[in-house]
Amino acid sequence: MTDSITLRPLSFEAVPAVLEVYRQCEDFLALGPVATASAEMVRADMEHAAREGSYYCGIFDAAGNLLGVVDYLPQGFEGRPDQAFLELLMIAAPYRSQGLGAAVVAMVEADIRRNPNVTVILSGVQVNNPGAVRFWQRQGYQVVSEPQVQPDTTIAVRLRKPL
């Protein structure tokens, strides 16, 4: 499956399809302040990406099925041209544990590496999601902060991967 995936920007017309992915990720959403997926949640995430200048993309298989979403800022995180940020990676439940997440991270990192000014990729993971922390560590990211309360009241650690 991972050989034939593509990342494509998503528009607001895709909200119904993206909502289905979010619904299949309510186990993840249950870790945060809002446990139930909604069209408003999807739109808010898309609007946040647009405001921040990040790439909010669908993860598609060769048949065009939406398998998940990824949101990343390829440069300029926290005003620093050398920093990128992986904001969100959600894989729909039926497609997890098949190498898809690792393949998507590799694709995103390859895109970010095209800019020679970017020297580090950062991300954040909620402390109540130890499986996600292990996933990111397997991708070469290191925890570089103590747990911190986020604006949405979740508690997360920062992860970092030098390029």
What's the CATH number where 69 sits?
3.40.630.30
Q: Answer positive or negative: Cα dihedral of 35, 40, 43, 48.
A: negative
**CA gyration radius for the chain?**
15
Q: Which domain holds residue 79?
A: 2-162
Conformational region of residue 44, where left means phi above 0, alpha means psi within -120 to 50, and beta covers everything else:
alpha
Task: Evaluate whether 104 touches 5 at the Cβ level (below 8 Å).
Answer: yes
Mean pLDDT of all residues in the chain?
A: 95
Q: At CA 69, angle to CA 106 and CA 126, rounded to 5?
A: 85
Q: Give residue 2's pLDDT.
A: 60
Q: pLDDT band at residue 161, thresholds of 50, 70 and 90?
A: very high
Please count the structural domains in the chain.
1
Interval 134-153: pLDDT, tens: 999 999 999 999 999 998 89
Task: Evaluate whether 90 touches 25 at the Cβ level (below 8 Å).
Answer: yes
Interval 1-47: pLDDT, tens: 567 899 999 999 999 999 999 999 999 898 888 989 999 999 999 99
